[in-house]
Structures are given as C-alpha cells and as structure tokens.
Chain A
C-alpha cells in the first residue's frame, strides 16, 4: 500500500494514475471487466446455440425491428463519445464541464434503457413471454443482462455526479470517473457484438 511511482513520472501522469494506491483500483477493474467478458461470452454462446430453437414461438425475423434497435445503437454509441469527452475535460481539470458531459452520458444511457424496456414490453405483449422458446429465453437474458449493466452504470454515474459536485476533481474522484468510463466503453463494445450477432444476423437468416 506504500508503493510510490517515481516523482518525475508522477507529474507526467494523469491525475488518476498519480497515486499508486488508487491505480490498484484501475488494474482491479480491468480484471473485473475481463471476468465480465467471460460472463457475456457464455451468454453469447447460449444464444448462438438457441437462436434457431424457436419451438412454437416467434422467430428472430418476426421479433426484431431494426429501426428502434438502430436508434438504441446510436444513443449508446453517442453516450460513449460524450463519456470520452467527459474524461477529456477531467484531464483539463474542468469540473463543471466534466459533470455536464457525464450527466449527458447518463441521460443517453437512460434513453437507451427506456427504449429497450419499451421494446421488451412490446415484444411480450405481441408475442408472449420468454417461456415459449429457448430462443426467446436466451435473447431476453443476453440483451437483458446488458441492459441491467447499463442501468447499474446509470446509478453509478449519478453517484459520481453527487461526489464530483461535493468534492470536485481529486485523485479519488478522478480514479472513480476513469473506472466508470472503462465500464461504459466496455458496455458499448458488448452492444456492438449484440447488434451484430443478435439483431443483424437475426435479420439475415
């Protein structure tokens, strides 16, 4: 807990990397993400096996509507961009700008989750519940797990905003915002795979 980076290096590094104790959290978070990748990989594998097993339920072709999904994609990708700008502002020490971009990120995330919930409820109202087929079960579970992650991220961003508002940019808050941004970009990458593997492939077959 007392390892220190070389003083000459410290001034060169972004705030969140200067305190070596705080950087433990960054490495730990990368490892957590590595573990989460495996979680999603398993769910993707389950979906890949089950996507054609529709039983008496709807097929992917019937259930997927690319329009709303494309909007969701744009929302989430944009939120990743605004999150990046937030980090850019943090590096320049501009607390207010960071908070504004973070808030925007959060709102885009909320819109994404809102659309996804609408999509799910419409699906259930039109086609019935996930009980009908292994395909529906794996589709809702895979996409829902991602949506659950995004929802947790929104809660996290809200807590970060409160903390930034009270304390401004410190080594501790900078590290937390940075790990949040890792999480958010990670969810973006997962979504790109979801969009391709689930929705686009579903429309092709």
Chain B
C-alpha cells in the first residue's frame, strides 16, 4: 500500500505549486459538475457533443481543448521566464524546471497547435468544398476522442505519478529507465502514441474528403488555398507520423519491456532515436505551418477584396515545401558529426526551403497591392505575420549554415528562432483563423476592439520576449539551463525577455476576456457573410445547419461565392430542389474508444498490466462491434429541411 502511494505521489507531485494546481483543478472540476447538474445539461452534453459526429461540433471541441492547452502551455512558459528573470533565482528548482520546459514544449506542439489546426480543418474544410461532412465522420470523432483522452492523460502527469522531464524531444538516453526512473516519461510516450493514432486517421480522413467530396465543378485548381494547404498537410501527416510512432514505440519497449535499442552497452544507439524523431519532426514543422499559410491566403484575399495573387505559384510552393521538408532533418543535429558531405547536403536542402516560402511571402504582399484593405483583427495578424516570419525564416537560414550552427546549436539563438517561426507563423495564423471563422462557428463576431488590444499586447510582448533571446544566444546562453550567475552580461536581457512574456500573457487574458464578453454581448450575424467573403462557407447561414448545404452547390470559378455574388445570386435555394438528406448518426463508440485507450494508457504508464490488458480488450471489443454496425446513418426528410431553410430565410420566393 505504501509502495503504491509512493508510486502515485512521489515528492515531485507534492510540492506546494503542484498542490495548489491540484486544488484549483479539483475546485474547477467540481464547479463544472455542479453547473451542469444545476442547469440539467448532462443529457445535452451527451447527445449534442459527446456522441456527435458532426464536423462543426468536433471542430469546436478541438478548439476548446486547444485553448486549455494554450493556457497550460502558456502558464508553463510564464513560470520558466519567471525563474530566468534574475540571476541565481530560486523560484523553480532544477528538477522542477526540467519538468516544466518539457510539458511546455510538448503541450504547445501536440496539445495546442495540433488540435488548433484540426479545429480549423474541421470547421472550414467541408463547408469550403461544398460537402455535408468529412468522408468518415465516425473516424473523425474517434480521432478527436483519442486526442482528448491523450490530452487528459498527459496533463494529469503532474498530479499523479510525476511529470516527464526529458524535454519535448525526449532524447535517449535521457529517457532510458536507468537514467530516468519513475513514470513521467511513460506518460509522454503513451499519451503521444494514443493521440498519434488519431492524428494519422485525421490525415487519411481529410485526404479522402478533399480528393473525393468536392462540389461539382470544383477542380483541384479551383479549391480555396486553405483546402490545398490541408490536402498537403494531410499527406505530410500520413507519411511523417509513422516515424514518430516508431520512435516512441522503441523508447517504450526499452523502458517497459527491456529491449536495448538505445543502450550503448548492448549495441544500441541513441542517435537512432534522434534521427527517427526528426524524420517526423521536421515535416511536423510544416504540418503546423502550412495550414497557417492557408489561413493567411484566405484572410489576405478577403480583406484586400482581391483574388489571391499567383494562385498556381502558391500551390506549387506548398507542394515544394512539403517535399523538401522530408530532406532536411539532419539540420537538427549538425553537431552529431555526420561529416562534411552529409552536413553540406542538409544545409543546402534546408536553405532551399526559403525559396518556395519566399514566393509565398511575395504573393501575399502582391495580393494586398492595390487592394482595398480592411484592418480587421484577422488581417492584423496577417500583417504582423509577414515581417515576423521573414525574420524567423532568415535566422533559420543562419542556423542552416553549418559552421555557424556549431556556434548557435542549442543556444538561446535557436530558442528565439523556433519561437519566431512557430509563434510568428503558426500561432499568429491560428489567431487570424480564429477571428476569421469565429462568426461561422458561433453566429456572432468577436469584439474587434478588444481583439486589437489582445493583438498589440501579444505582438509587442512577442518581440520583447524573443528578440533579446537572439542576443542571449550570441552571448553564449544555452537552452534548458535553469539558473545563471551574475556578471555574464545576461541579466538585463533576461529581465526584458521575461517582461515580454508577461505582456504576451496579458494579451492571452484579454483574448479570453474578449471571448466571454463577446458571447455575453453577442449580436447574431444574420447574413452568414460578415466579411463579404469569397469562398463557399460564407454562402451558408452561421452556424450552418447539420447538413450544411440543403442543395449541393455547383462551382464554376475559383472564389466560388464571390463569383456568385458578382452574378447577383444570393445563395438561397428553391424548395423543389430540396430532397431528403442522409447524414451519419451519433454514436457513443468514439468516446468509449477514447476512454478504453485511456484505461489501457494508465495501465501501461504504471505497468499495471491487468488494467492495460483490460483496456486493450475493450478497444478490440469496440472495434469489432463497429464492424457489425449497420445503422450508422439517418435520413432527414425533405420537408424538415424545407422548414429549417425557411426559418433561416433561405428559401427563394
């Protein structure tokens, strides 16, 4: 019994900060339970959300989780910066600091950015291509619930058992059992494995959706550019994620089942892990960045009231980036010593990526050229992105210069660079998309005024945080150090950087406040097209009805909805064109599947094998039951659709 308690609650989860977090989680959880009970919303939660297979609702659920991830990852960042604000600080101890930079990175990549892009995939793609759902709605729900339960599994590590502490990259041999006892790394390995299965399924799902379910007349070269970016991203996902699956699985086998992949004494090789990780890891950078590029391409055209400049070049550069991204992974470890020839190859291939990226930057600028630009919040993020990303890209090229990299490697110069591209590229893009598609999701706009406050706090905070880090890197400060002495010339820059991080935190708080404020003071957007948009999602009411399109649209031009508006068409439908629509039916299986994986995951984390086996048996039972599922759809009668459309004012005549 005492052994079990020691395993569940090692000293690292009993620090005052952790106990404080436990208390707030407990209170928050209780509050939610009470609120749902009081409002009698349990049935609603089950019917409308937990069992849903509707891509629009799944998108919203991804978004909620992404925001929680952003909160936790951001809180971790603020704690790290607080520790580094002044020399010889004692806010966090060394072990604690290791845990927090590990969870910060892992959460930001896997449990903030990934669900955020999947949220926007789900919300926008079917509506943009004129489809009624994704190709495999139930699989889509399964992907979500695997992610959601993996999210919970990963985030509970600091409450029960202890956090992972080997960095978000989890390099061997730091993760090997003899150097890293305890269950923290198990949480990392198993949670990422579970959400990774869902990610590959999402990749397959959106590839099939885009390849096979576009509206009549929408050829590949008439797709909105965001849809192109999702197509390319999904192909990156299915060809890159298996490498991560293998990297994680081999580490797990080493830790839990006694293999010797990464232990040198038995002929293993830690660099094998590093290679596998980055064969996934570099394409992953573009899995996050390309959707952001797609969002910017939609936003810039809409708010410049112009067609996107150089559409074919935009498509070509997306494809070029995706292909090049598989040939650059060694640039993450030039210092491994692979030799001059290998390093030269990967240095040059890395620099090549700047070319298609540069093409995109110019095309966004030329789209704005001569356009009538509206300074909405979505557009502000786009405008901030261009110079920010150019600088991030340029420092990336500096890192790709191999002799230079021997100096920059693992310094704060690198830290500044990847935050520069991942925040300046990905997060700015996600915020832009959030403001752009929010009315489509919820039927009202976010406050533009508050949005601009959040924007300026976040943007200025961003530069104040990360520009000093470039200088710190050049002054020799290495990443992942938890403490530094006086007199190295690092102190003022670190303090400035920390102040910037607080400003970003304030920006996030304003954003959250703005979401709540905008909801309480919402004015329904009855047009469905508040931005005078160009693509098909804006031809629908906001939020779109369950079946999206009462009558499937036909497309003749690239910016289909814009062309329809130019021809004086309204998007309304004729009652006689409406027929019955077959839609997928709600199912609890995806939720239960996620839960079973969670149980199996807990069993594996603590090596409680009966529980792990029981969880996997549930998984198999649910899969087999799915093979016999026959009534997985329902038909909405034409009359009901006519009534819905009439109520939305969308019937002609």
Contacts and interface: CB of A to CB of B under 8 A. Distances in A.
Do chains A and B interact in one complex?
yes
Interface of A: 1-3, 20, 23-25, 27-28, 31-32, 34-36, 38-39, 41-43, 46, 49-50, 53-57, 129-138, 140-141, 155-156, 159-160, 162-163, 172, 176
Nearest to A53: B267
B280 to A, nearest CB: 9
Nearest to B259: A137
B174 interface: no
B178 interface: no
Interface string B234-271: 00001111110110011001100011110101111100
Contacts of A20: 212
5 contacts: A28-B208, A35-B203, A46-B246, A159-B624, A163-B627
B552 interface: yes
A34 B241 CA distance: 12
Contacts of A55: 260, 265-267
A160 to B, nearest CB: 8
B241 to A, nearest CB: 7
Interface of B: 131-133, 135-136, 200, 203-205, 207-208, 211-213, 238-243, 245-246, 249-250, 253-254, 258-261, 263, 265-269, 272, 276, 279, 552, 581-583, 620, 624, 627-628, 630
Given A28-B136, A176-B627, A134 B267 contact: yes
B272 A46 contact: yes
A59 to B, nearest CB: 11
Contacts of A23: 212
B268 A137 contact: yes
A194 B205 CA distance: 30
Contacts of A56: 266
B246 A43 contact: yes
Given A38-B242, A46-B250, A135-B267, A1 B204 contact: no
A28 B204 contact: yes
B265 A50 contact: no
Contact of A50 (B208, B243, B269): B269
Contacts of B249: 141
Nearest to A140: B259
Q: Which of B242, B267, B552 lies at the interface centre, i.e. has the most chain A CB atoms within 10 A of its CB?
A: B267
Contacts of A50: 261, 267-269, 272
Nearest to A162: B628
Contacts of B133: 1
Contacts of A3: 212-213
Chain A binding surface SS class: helix
B131 A129 contact: no
A137 B204 contact: no
Contacts of B136: 24-25, 28
Nearest to A42: B246
Q: Which of A31, A55, A162 lies at the interface centre, i.e. has the most chain B CB atoms within 10 A of its CB?
A: A31
B272 A28 contact: no
Contact of A28 (B135, B261, B263, B581): B135
A34 B239 contact: yes
Contacts of A163: 627-628
A35 B204 contact: yes
Contacts of A1: 131-133, 213, 582-583
Contacts of A159: 624, 627-628
A34 B238 CA distance: 8
Contact of B266 (A32, A42, A131, A172): A131
A41 B280 CA distance: 13
A55 to B, nearest CB: 4
A45 B253 CA distance: 17
Given A42-B279, A137-B266, 18 more contacts: A28-B208, A31-B208, A35-B238, A35-B241, A38-B240, A42-B276, A46-B276, A50-B269, A53-B269, A129-B258, A130-B258, A134-B266, A134-B267, A137-B268, A138-B261, A156-B627, A159-B628, A176-B627
A1 to B, nearest CB: 5
The 4 lowest CB-CB distance pairs between A and B, nearest first, are A53-B267, A137-B259, A39-B242, A134-B267
A32 B212 contact: no
Contact of B208 (A24, A130, A156, A160): A24
Nearest to B273: A46
Nearest to B266: A55
Contacts of A34: 238-239
A121 to B, nearest CB: 16
Contacts of B131: 1
Contacts of A129: 258
Contacts of A46: 246, 250, 261, 272, 276
A2 to B, nearest CB: 7
A186 to B, nearest CB: 14
Contacts of A25: 136
Contacts of B620: 155
Contacts of A35: 200, 203-204, 238-239, 241-242
A36 B242 contact: yes
A100 to B, nearest CB: 20
A171 to B, nearest CB: 12
Nearest to A46: B272
Given A31-B238, A130-B260, A24 B135 contact: yes
A164 to B, nearest CB: 12
A137 B239 CA distance: 24
A98 B131 CA distance: 36
Contacts of A172: 630
Q: Which of B131, B205, B254, B266 lies at the interface centre, i.e. has the most chain A CB atoms within 10 A of its CB?
A: B266
Given A31-B208, A38-B239, A137-B253, A131 B260 contact: yes
Contacts of B250: 46, 137, 141
Contacts of B261: 46, 50, 134, 137-138
B135 A134 contact: no
Contacts of A138: 261
